[in-house]
Chains A and B, each alone.
Chain A
Amino acid sequence: MHPAKSVIFFTTASGAGYGLAFLLILFSILGILPTSAGLGWAGFLIAGALVTAGLLSSTLHLGHPERAWRALTQWRSSWLSREGVMAVLTYPPVILYAAGWVFGADLTNPLWVVIGLIACLFSAVTVFCTAMIYASLKPVHAWANPLVPVGYSLFAVMTGAVLLSFLARLSGISPIAPEVAALITLALGYGLKSAYWARMEDKPAPSTMETATGLGTIGKVSLLEAPHSEANYLMHEMVFKIARKHAQKLRMVVVGGGFALPFLCLGAAVLTGPVSGLGTGLVGLAVLFTAVGIYTERWLFFAEARHTVGLYYGSGSA
């Protein structure tokens, strides 16, 4: 599949934003993160900016952005529509909770806890809907499986946790919760992505050139002549070819940048103890590595996925 920059930015940025808001509120409800106004402002503003920039970017690739509101109407059948509806519904409880936080409301009050839980739930459901847009596409074998929604959710929390660790250190508090959450999700993220790649190798797609043409009863099918001499929309959009050796190198960037280096930086920062320039610098590095890693991860998510339409253009496997 063609890795469109707007969609890669949208899914990674909004994922990190929802992950950050989710963790801020969850840790606040659990009482394991000091609700300082500084952290509240920084955290919720950055989360809001990431989510909003992502959502706006996702409308950039539309042929008719001015009609985007229509995408909120078909939530009964369409995961894309559900995502849009949930994205809109998630703003009020998150903004309300953020306001309560920065203006010093008593967040232990049951009413605030309920608002917070709704905000957490809606953030999680929005990310899940984003993932289901891809996981519900049967023609793309690499995507049509539960590892995709689990992965999107995990990576959202992971990137959110790394960001929150940095913001907490910057605002002069170094509670252990965000850093432990980051370390755990980085390890889980690596396991999840390894499982995703292993499945790609081990589980061949059910569709072949033989089933696509129905000519398998006669013999082995190959493309003799394409319909047109030049590439067309279908080939540009869905028959994206990535050299295998590049894919292997990019996977190493994902493993190194996305999981291993941030894990080491955060681990080292935890060992340096509470607030110090070195610790903050290390966590800042982790944020940079994670950003590069997750962007590459999402680029590969698209570039490595093969669509059944490629079978009609001679690609051996779907």
Chain B
Amino acid sequence: MTSLPKALPGKKLGLVIDLDICVGCHACAVNCKEWNSGGHSAPMTDIDPYGGDPSGVWFNRIHTFEVEADNGGSRTVHFPKSCLHCDDAPCVTVCPTGASYKREEDGIVLVNADTCIGCKLCSWACPYGAREYDENAGVMKKCTLCVDKIYNESLPPESRVPACVSTCPAGARSFGDLGDPTSEVSKLVKSREGYDLMPEMGCNPVNKYLPPRPPKNAEDDRQLEPVVADQAGALARWVDRIFSR
């Protein structure tokens, strides 16, 4: 059923991503692709992977942004983005077939590949770009929060976390129950003032982002002075004028 669960699940599994720690190595995206190539929504189709115009399905993509502060100082922020498993997931309610659904027991948003007609409307309804269409399979795909890994009792308990979390070499990703205020992830979000992406869209995402910490010394955030200042010689200034034309 594409209506959202009437009572919100008490348990809300999700990710907490620490933008202060992420180094932008893309290992989470690579391990996501590796695990899910054999997982719930397999295969993660690639088209023309070794050709001139490769494209393919990824559940997780790492963007890198530059943020320029008012004082001119700028910083680089690596920004992994995958499905946020929203409480009010518009991708679920727009689905005309019931293939897109949110699990009552843990809030994970999934696609039933057997009933998806591939109309792509759910990918339009998601403000975050979390859903990607598989041209070969003709169905929509998305992050499953490694539903086939986190409950897998044949794995040692410490491995029962999403692939992106177990692989992160910097420890920038945490996984847990964000519906439980006493959980480690909830405490982390509280202590670091974790936030929602695009709260104005009203999706109430479960995944939270932790902001980069402010620089210890605000002076460190300034831009460097220009190497050539006004004390440059007459010749240097003349050359500069010529080349600046």
> With A and B bound together, what is the CA distance between A109 and B180 in angstroms?
65
- Kindly state whether residue B202 has any CB partner on chain A within 8 Å: yes
Q: Size class of A's contact patch? A: 35 or more
* A219 near B70: Cβ-Cβ < 8 Å: yes
Tell me which residues across on chain A come within 8 A of B76, comparing CB atoms: 224
Tell me which residues across on chain B come within 8 A of A218, comparing CB atoms: 67, 69, 75, 211-212
Q: When the two chains form the complex, which single residue of B1, B3, B55, B67 contacts A233, counting CB atoms closer than 8 Å?
A: B55
B183 to chain A, nearest CB (A): 21
Tell me which residues across on chain A come within 8 A of B66, comparing CB atoms: 221-224
- Kindly state whether residue A201 has any CB partner on chain B within 8 Å: no
Tell me which residues across on chain A come within 8 A of B198, comparing CB atoms: 207, 211-212, 308
- Kindly state whether residue A213 has any CB partner on chain B within 8 Å: yes
Tell me which residues across on chain B come within 8 A of A207, comparing CB atoms: 127, 198, 200-201
- Kindly state whether residue B152 has any CB partner on chain A within 8 Å: no
B212 to chain A, nearest CB (A): 7
* B2 near A63: Cβ-Cβ < 8 Å: no
* Binary B-proximity of A56-73 (CB < 8 A = 1, otherwise 0): 000001111101101111
Tell me which residues across on chain B come within 8 A of A62, comparing CB atoms: 117-119, 138
> With A and B bound together, what is the CA distance between A210 and B119 in angstroms?
30
* Binary B-proximity of A137-149 (CB < 8 A = 1, otherwise 0): 1111000000000
Tell me which residues across on chain A come within 8 A of B196, comparing CB atoms: 214
Nearest to A66 among chain B residues (CB) is B117
* B127 near A309: Cβ-Cβ < 8 Å: yes
Tell me which residues across on chain A come within 8 A of B156, comparing CB atoms: none
Q: How many positions in chain B have a CB within 8 Å of any CB in the partner chain?
A: 70
- Kindly state whether residue B197 has any CB partner on chain A within 8 Å: yes
Tell me which residues across on chain A come within 8 A of B132, comparing CB atoms: 232-234
Q: Which of A191-229 contact B (CB under 8 A)?
A: 206-207, 209, 211-215, 217-228
- Kindly state whether residue A296 has any CB partner on chain B within 8 Å: no
Tell me which residues across on chain B come within 8 A of A217, comparing CB atoms: 211
> With A and B bound together, what is the CA distance between A1 and B91 in angstroms?
17
* Binary B-proximity of A291-318 (CB < 8 A = 1, otherwise 0): 0000000000000000111001100000
- Kindly state whether residue B41 has any CB partner on chain A within 8 Å: no
Nearest to B66 among chain A residues (CB) is A224
Q: Which of the segments A45-53, A76-84, A172-180, A262-270 contacts the partner chain?
A: A76-84
Q: When the two chains form the complex, which single residue of A63, A70, A215 contacts B139, counting CB atoms closer than 8 Å?
A: A63
- Kindly state whether residue B226 has any CB partner on chain A within 8 Å: no
Q: Which of the segments B93-101, B158-166, B229-237 contacts the partner chain?
A: B93-101
> With A and B bound together, what is the CA distance between A136 and B193 in angstroms?
31
* A76 near B127: Cβ-Cβ < 8 Å: no
> With A and B bound together, what is the CA distance between A18 and B99 in angstroms?
30
- Kindly state whether residue B115 has any CB partner on chain A within 8 Å: yes
* A70 near B94: Cβ-Cβ < 8 Å: no
- Kindly state whether residue B123 has any CB partner on chain A within 8 Å: yes
- Kindly state whether residue A37 has any CB partner on chain B within 8 Å: no
Nearest to B29 among chain A residues (CB) is A227
Q: Which of B125-147 contact A (CB under 8 A)?
A: 125-129, 132-135, 137-139
Nearest to A225 among chain B residues (CB) is B64
Q: Which of A61, A79, A233, A238 has the most CB of B within 10 A?
A: A233
* B53 near A71: Cβ-Cβ < 8 Å: no
> With A and B bound together, what is the CA distance between A81 and B127 in angstroms?
21
Instruction: Please judge, given known A-B contacts A77-B2, A77-B93, A80-B96, whether A137 and B125 are in contact too, CB under 8 Å.
Output: yes
* B97 near A73: Cβ-Cβ < 8 Å: yes
- Kindly state whether residue B103 has any CB partner on chain A within 8 Å: no
* A225 near B63: Cβ-Cβ < 8 Å: yes
> With A and B bound together, what is the CA distance between A307 and B127 in angstroms?
7
* A78 near B93: Cβ-Cβ < 8 Å: yes
Tell me which residues across on chain A come within 8 A of B175, comparing CB atoms: none
* A80 near B115: Cβ-Cβ < 8 Å: no
> With A and B bound together, what is the CA distance between A304 and B54 in angstroms?
27
* B197 near A138: Cβ-Cβ < 8 Å: no
- Kindly state whether residue B120 has any CB partner on chain A within 8 Å: yes
A132 to chain B, nearest CB (A): 10
> With A and B bound together, what is the CA distance between A72 and B119 in angstroms?
13
- Kindly state whether residue B61 has any CB partner on chain A within 8 Å: yes
> With A and B bound together, what is the CA distance between A67 and B118 in angstroms?
9
Q: When the two chains form the complex, which single residue of A221, A234, A313 contacts B123, counting CB atoms closer than 8 Å?
A: A234
* A74 near B2: Cβ-Cβ < 8 Å: yes
* B117 near A67: Cβ-Cβ < 8 Å: yes
Interface, chain A (partner B; CB < 8 A): 1, 61-65, 67-68, 70-74, 76-81, 84, 133, 136-140, 206-207, 209, 211-215, 217-228, 230-234, 237-238, 307-309, 312-313
8 A-B pairs (CB sep. < 8 Å): A62-B119, A63-B119, A71-B119, A215-B212, A217-B211, A221-B67, A223-B65, A227-B61
12 further interface pairs, Cβ-Cβ under 8 Å (given A81-B97, A227-B61, A228-B61):
A70-B97, A80-B96, A137-B90, A207-B127, A211-B199, A212-B198, A215-B212, A219-B68, A231-B55, A233-B123, A238-B129, A307-B127
Interface, chain B (partner A; CB < 8 A): 1-3, 19, 24, 26, 29, 53-58, 61-70, 74-77, 79, 81, 90, 92-99, 115-121, 123-129, 132-135, 137-139, 195-202, 209, 211-212
Closest 7 CB pairs of A and B: A63-B118, A63-B138, A309-B129, A227-B61, A71-B96, A81-B96, A219-B69
